[in-house]
Structure 1
Amino acid sequence: MRVLRLGTKGTDVMEIQALLRKIGYDPGPIDGIFGPQTQQAVMQFQRDNGLTPDGIIGPNTYRVLEPLLLGYATYEIRPGDTMYNLARRYYSSVLKIVTANPTVNPYNLQIGQQILIPYGIDVVDTNIDYTYEIMERDIQGLKARYPFLEVGIAGKSVLGKNLYYIRLGNGPNQVFYNGAHHALEWITSPLLMKFIENFAKAYMEERNIRGYDVRDIWDQSSIYIMPMVNPDGVDLVLNGLQRGNPFYEDLIRWNRGSLDFSEVWQANIRGVDLNHNYDALWQLSKEAEPLYGVYGPGPTRYSGPYPESEPESRAVADFTRRRNFRLVLAYHSQGEVIYWNFQNLAPPVARTIGELFSRVSGYTLDEAYGIASYAGYKDWFIQEYRRPGYTIEVGSGRNPLPIEQFDQIYNDNEELLLLAAVV
């Protein structure tokens, strides 16, 4: 992590600001700008933790902050320790500690034994720009807290970032949710990550969510979630173009000479629109490109040189081929609409399910037309498997949607995400 000080700007500053607020300090607005109020909050944190109060987040301060960012501490058992006392000391609970340490006997702690202690704070922040690095750390934190989660890697992006998936449940009914095919639509990644956290927490606590029996869903279904299909594009949008990027000159040319990718870039790092890169009337998508002023790699709608030319779309398709998904959800933004059909190939039950999704979310059920109806993931899934597949367009306004919309988006979609696993 880079050194953060007065005047520093970026998504990493925003992440620290969100953490400081979460643990009881006031950094001012969570805006990614390391201003005087953030500096004062850092200094108070440093004083409270025996650090030099210089208001700079360097290696020593970051070392203390990192366990809080992950959401858990590694602790070595000492004489007199009990689960109850440790839970009080770390603002945690006995249940959280026992869950995170399934091989440890809580009634027979051994001196020198190392355990994980989750803090009494959530892992996934929903008030920040959600980068790949933040997501990766959150996945590590969730896996530590909830070791019953299955975490895997479906493939890698062009720049070698992991395409993570998380599995909830171990039942025979397999479903698949994915987010952030499009770079500007990164808000779909924290949506899916927060759902994972809330589902895992409810499973641990043996409680329902919105009347749904989470333990029953766990036994009946396997929910596979890939929260960020396009990590290179998301980081380009949120962190800007970095000098070391191997496509640096190309990206500027593809972006018509501009260094600003924050409001236009939907594609992956090679300028291919991943949701036009699947083999579902791909040729029609290709033929339609000139109608939209697309003549090669660029911010949006370029379908690539051939279907699944990109490692990201190929990984998603291969991941699908290796499993027996009854239903898939591809999350996008914006419009508050659910697209459910492709070339009239969806089975009759798909519309019935779509109407249920519409009812619980308040979103409109519709069909896509024109170039938007070709070569997308849900199009390919419906074509190949003749099973229900949906594109869910969350939020309203203009991409990228402001993070201030997150709470409404999550509220609209939580029951839909639960229902899709049992319907």
Structure 2
Amino acid sequence: MRVRVRSGDTLWYYSRLFLLPFNLILQSNPGINANALKIGQEIQIPGFAPVSYNIRKGDSLWKLAAARNLSVDALLLVNQNINPNRLMIGQMIQLPRRITAQDINPRVNYDYARLTRDIQVLREHFPFIRVRSIGESVQGKQLYEIRVGTGNKKVHLDASFHANEWITTPVLMSFLNTYLLGLTNSRQVRGIAMMPLYQSVDLSIVPMVNPDGVDLVQHGPPPALSEQILRMNKGSSDFSGWKANIRGVDLNNQFPANWEIEKERKEPKAPAPRDYPGDAPLTEPEAIAMADLARNERFNRMLAFHTQGKEFYWGYEGLEPPESGVLAREFARVSGYKAVRYIDSHAGYKDWFIQEFRRPGFTIELGEGVNPLPISQFDEIYHDALGIFLASLYM
């Protein structure tokens, strides 16, 4: 919600007026000098949205404010052109609405367009988040990274490396929305206060690593590539088994952690719906962007969300630090998922992250069944894995 500065207003006053943590208002207005606000300057208030309201008989600003647990001055700030003593029936004003429920609808077949819309909604309602593109997919879709928090501990989460595992994206976005609501409403999540996490953690989220592949599974091939993709899919128009990017390269087999072993033993020797690791490591723009992100940011830990199996993998070639085992035990405790230290697999993002940085990396296999998991599993997956999300921040 946007307001205009009046004479005497300060960010501290807005913090008290809207019962919001001061640092969230400060972070929502980058470039603003908190000690020198100018009259008429636009300020963003996180966690609120304006709602139009027509004055009815018997209304007063005091009654309208009291019904919303706000002061009258909060209404006057949002409606600076009205005379509070001369309200007229039918007159339209704006009422600040505190956002207390999720802004996004994750229980749908989730694609890149919906992700883009949901990111815009979250940016509007929670302007203290930072959003940027870390690269582009083969088809030029932006690979969005969302950052939250001001701490020194860097935690990275990502989803939808594999196209038909797209349910991981709305799950991760829902985790994020819960976190943001906890911050603006001073609300605990499973008994954990959110503001200490915000102050101690710099959270990075890439919610859809493979947007071209996700859209292929959801909507079929783009017309210009239809013949080529149908050929890769053995003539079938059923893309529910497609894991790769739009060029038929499995992005989670693209990283230089014993890539040669995977190249040799994987059955596909050419682009395919799944498992083809490419002609060399890091040939695909999506994989390159994720590797560059990790190298540039030097995250303290990384979690990649996949499906399915209700288990997670946390070791690689004995290179994982002791901290990984501590985290793994907590993740298993809060989720009920099985902790698996080693599997016979290489060239994944988790594998490379552990090898490259000697820091904790995890592949989280959400849910159980056959990919793509149905959206009807969303609530169960979210409930089971929310503890992992929280533990990745507080541990």
What TM-score do you get using the length of structure 2 for normalisation?
A: 0.78
Any residues of structure 2 matched to 1:229-240 within 5 Å, and which?
229-240=209-220
Distance 1:284 1:358 in 2: 30
Is the partner of 2:363 in helix, strand or coil? strand
Correspondence for 2:333 among 345, 352, 359? 359
Correspondence for 1:248 among 226, 231, 241? 226
Correspondence for 2:384 among 384, 394, 412? 412
1:379 aligns with 2:359: no
Is the partner of 1:392 in helix, strand or coil? strand
Distance 1:368 1:84 in 2: 62
Q: Is the 2:100–2:181 Cα contact (8 Å) retained in structure 1?
A: no
Is the partner of 1:229 in helix, strand or coil? coil
Alignment match, 1:171 = 151
Alignment match, 1:321 = 295
Distance 2:62 2:127 in 1: 18
Kindly report the root-mean-square deviation, in angstroms, between the aligned alpha carbons of the 2 structures.
2.8
CA shift digits 1:314-363 (9 cap, x unpaired) = 11111111112111000000000110011111112211211111111100
Any residues of structure 2 matched to 1:88-237 within 5 Å, and which?
107-108=76-77, 109-111=79-81, 122-237=102-217
CA shift digits 1:201-234 (9 cap, x unpaired) = 0100112111111000000011111111001100
Alignment match, 2:324 = 350
Aligned length: 334
Correspondence for 1:390 among 349, 362, 367? 362
Q: Is the 2:319–2:355 Cα contact (8 Å) retained in structure 1?
A: yes
Is the partner of 2:300 in helix, strand or coil? strand
Unaligned runs of 5+ in 2: 1-47, 83-92
Distance 2:292 2:66 in 1: 43
Is the partner of 1:223 in helix, strand or coil? strand
C-alpha deviation, 1:247, in angstroms: 2.5
Alignment match, 2:311 = 337
Distance 2:316 2:172 in 1: 24
Q: Is the 1:84–1:94 Cα contact (8 Å) retained in structure 2?
A: no
Counterpart residue identity of residue 80, structure 2 = Q
Counterpart residue identity of residue 187, structure 2 = R
Unaligned runs of 5+ in 1: 1-70, 96-103
Distance 2:117 2:65 in 1: 24
CA shift digits 1:170-200 (9 cap, x unpaired) = 1000000000000010010011100111100
C-alpha deviation, 1:242, in angstroms: 3.1
CA shift digits 1:53-103 (9 cap, x unpaired) = xxxxxxxxxxxxxxxxxx96786999x996984998xxxx678xxxxxxxx
C-alpha deviation, 1:305, in angstroms: 1.5
C-alpha deviation, 1:369, in angstroms: 3.0
What TM-score do you get using the length of structure 1 for normalisation?
A: 0.73
Distance 1:329 1:364 in 2: 15
Change (3 A) 1:278 1:86: farther
Correspondence for 1:272 among 245, 249, 268? 249
Change (3 A) 1:418 1:119: closer
Counterpart residue identity of residue 253, structure 1 = R
Any residues of structure 2 matched to 1:7-86 within 5 Å, and which?
85=64
Q: Which structure would you say has the larger Rg?
A: 2
C-alpha deviation, 1:115, in angstroms: 9.8
Q: Is the 2:107–2:170 Cα contact (8 Å) retained in structure 1?
A: no
1:259 aligns with 2:237: yes
Q: Is the 1:247–1:270 Cα contact (8 Å) retained in structure 2?
A: no
Q: Is the 2:75–2:96 Cα contact (8 Å) retained in structure 1?
A: no
1:304 aligns with 2:289: no
Counterpart residue identity of residue 278, structure 1 = F
C-alpha deviation, 1:116, in angstroms: 8.5
Alignment match, 2:393 = 421
Counterpart residue identity of residue 215, structure 1 = M
Change (3 A) 1:340 1:119: closer
Is the partner of 2:257 in helix, strand or coil? coil
Q: Is the 2:102–2:181 Cα contact (8 Å) retained in structure 1?
A: no
Counterpart residue identity of residue 289, structure 2 = A
CA shift digits 1:279-318 (9 cap, x unpaired) = 11111110112xx3x1210111100111111111111111
Q: Is the 2:100–2:185 Cα contact (8 Å) retained in structure 1?
A: no
1:282 aligns with 2:259: yes
